[in-house]
Amino acid sequence: NAGVTQTPKFQVLKTGQSMTLQCAQDMNHNSMYWYRQDPGMGLRLIYYSASEGTTDKGEVPNGYNVSRLNKREFSLRLESAAPSQTSVYFCASSESGGLDRYTFGSGTRLTVV
């Protein structure tokens, strides 16, 4: 089925550990996004990639890095995890920036202890 695939679905990290969240889409979309969602809050944009080869900071980029590996894949890396990064992370894609409907992955639930 066409869509956005995120791995892993669940992860527990110790403070200071690093990890990479993977995201891939098979809809030939140009734009990809990483969000975090905390309880009782809306989504907050971490980083986005308007097109292959470009990445830009969103509202809450500190503590994260991203790589747009190719048109399909957009990864999010936590270099030194902190408890404040405990959250649910969503990847999304759209045909062309914020002008089109978004397709979301099912999320990664990350706990940092």
Partner 1 sequence: KQEVTQIPAALSVPEGENLVLNCSFTDSAIYNLQWFRQDPGKGLTSLLLIQSSQREQTSGRLNASLDKSSGRSTLYIAASQPGDSATYLCSREGLIWGAGTKLIIKP
Residue 98 in the binding site for partner 1 (CB under 8 A) = yes
User: Quick one: which of 33, 47, 64, 74 contacts partner 1 (CB under 8 A)?
Assistant: 33
C-beta separation of 110 from 9 below 8 A:
no
Cα 84 to Cα 31, 59, 67, distances in angstroms: 27, 15, 22
Residue 18 or 88: the one with the smaller Cβ distance to partner 1 is 88
Helix (H) or strand (E) holding 95: none
Residue 100 in the binding site for partner 1 (CB under 8 A) = yes
Contacting positions for partner 1 (CB under 8 A): 4, 33, 40-45, 58-59, 90, 92, 94, 98-107
